Amino acid sequence: MKDLVRKLVENGKAIAVLPAFSLFVGAVFLGFYGVYLLFETLYKVFTNPTYQDSTQLSTKFITVMDIHLLSVVLYIFAVGLYELFVGKLQVPDWLKIESIDELKAKLASVIILILAITFTKKFVQWEKPVDTLLFGVAVAVVIGVLIFYYKAKESH
């Protein structure tokens, strides 16, 4: 029984296949959803004059960028989990993941980019200046903490 448990744990690569596959499916779904939103926006621009407002268009296109970026993040994580726990893939060198720390570093950099895009979207909408300022401060604090964490981690 002890040997069976040991073999199951040692060969537990299948456990990582499910999250990697589900992240890949999510990435594909978000990619298609982003394309759908882009075409929906273009259709509305040409058929509804109220959609031709530059602020509204900017917000829509920033949303499309955000969705595509999230799609790419899910793909990077799918590749990373697969490479760490299952086996190597033929991917570009910048996408090769050899440790959990590398995967976390990629996540942190993408989180920073997503936060920047989210703030830009809120800034373009500019509904409540104080809320926008507080949101910007919160985003800056999170970005600062992520940068500090990885700078401190690099020095060790």
Domain assignments of the chain as residue spans, ordered by start: 2-154
Hey, what are 46's tokens? 């040409």
Q: How far apart are CA 88 and CA 50, in angstroms?
A: 50
> In the predicted model, is pLDDT for residue 123 greater than 90?
no
66-103 tens-digit pLDDT = 899 889 889 988 998 888 888 888 888 887 888 887 88
Specify which of 14-18, 40-44, 92-96 reaches the highest per-range mean pLDDT.
40-44
C-beta of residue 78 within 8 angstroms of C-beta of residue 20: yes
Q: How far apart are CA 20 and CA 7, in angstroms?
A: 22
Residue 128: predicted pLDDT: 81
Q: What is the pTM of this model?
A: 0.74
Hey, what are 77's tokens? 């994580």
Beta carbons within 10 angstroms of residue 64's beta carbon: 19
Encode 94-124: b = buried (16+ Cβ within 10 Å), e = exposed: eeebeeeeebebbebebebbbbebebbbbeb
Residue 29: predicted pLDDT: 97
Q: How far apart are CA 85 and CA 70, in angstroms?
A: 22
Q: How far apart are CA 149 and CA 79, in angstroms?
A: 24
